[in-house]
Amino acid sequence: MGLIRDLFPAAWKGFGITLETIGRKTFTQSYPEKGKEKVTAPRFHGRHQLNRWPDGLEKCVGCELCAWACPADAIYVEGASNTEEERFSPGERYGRVYQINYLRCILCGMCIEACPTRALTMTNDFKLADTTREKMIYTKDRLLAPLMPGMEEAPHPRRLGPDEQSYFLGLPPTGEVDARTPVADPQEGKR
């Protein structure tokens, strides 16, 4: 009985606060804020991207090292062999099937560290929400980098340089350095 008597004044005090705030003007903030795009840090781990060589061929060689390195088992890669009639990458193999399940992915970056050809990188794109589970599984067509001017959609033969060394250095048939791809100075490490 004593407990009820002690709570009764506290209850009326709470009702009094409620009555005071009923007449106040409310403050509502719209979300997301229109016109203000979030700026991420330069090394932010966002959506993945499969990169291309300057002639448009894919850098992925289907080695599946990214899938092996993924701690969340979010990547599925199925490699296949290139032929001279249908060449998707400059090497012997290419990633025929490439999928990343963003419902599982923890965006840790282990896959990009494991990639030997630098085919897989992470962008600053952080808006990954979608309406269905199927849309959260990104396939190769959604992961491939867009074609830049001068690139050609695969399959096609290698277009850069007469041999493999000049191809992998990114030299076009003119022999001059490609302006789109920065080339490291070979003398830089010897100084």
> Is 16 part of any known ligand binding site?
no
Cβ–Cβ < 8 Å for 118, 186 = no
> Is 66 part of any known ligand binding site?
yes
> Is 65 part of any known ligand binding site?
no
> Is 60 part of any known ligand binding site?
yes
Q: Omega into 32 within 30° of 0, i.e. cis?
A: yes
> Is 172 part of any known ligand binding site?
no
Joined tokens for residue 35: 């016109």
Cβ–Cβ < 8 Å for 104, 73 = yes
Cα→Cα distances 147→57, 91, 152, 166, 183, Å: 10, 20, 7, 21, 20
> Is 20 part of any known ligand binding site?
no
SS3 letters across 14-75 = HHHHHHHHHCCCCCCCCCCCCCCCCCCCCCCCCCEEECECCCCCECCCCCCHHHHHCCCCCE
CB atoms within 10 A of CB 9: 9
Identity of the amino acid at 32: P
Cβ–Cβ < 8 Å for 164, 68 = no
- For the annotated binding site for [4Fe-4S] cluster, the residues are 60, 63, 66, 70, 105, 108, 111, 115
- Binding residues, as ranges, are 60, 63, 66, 70, 105, 108, 111, 115
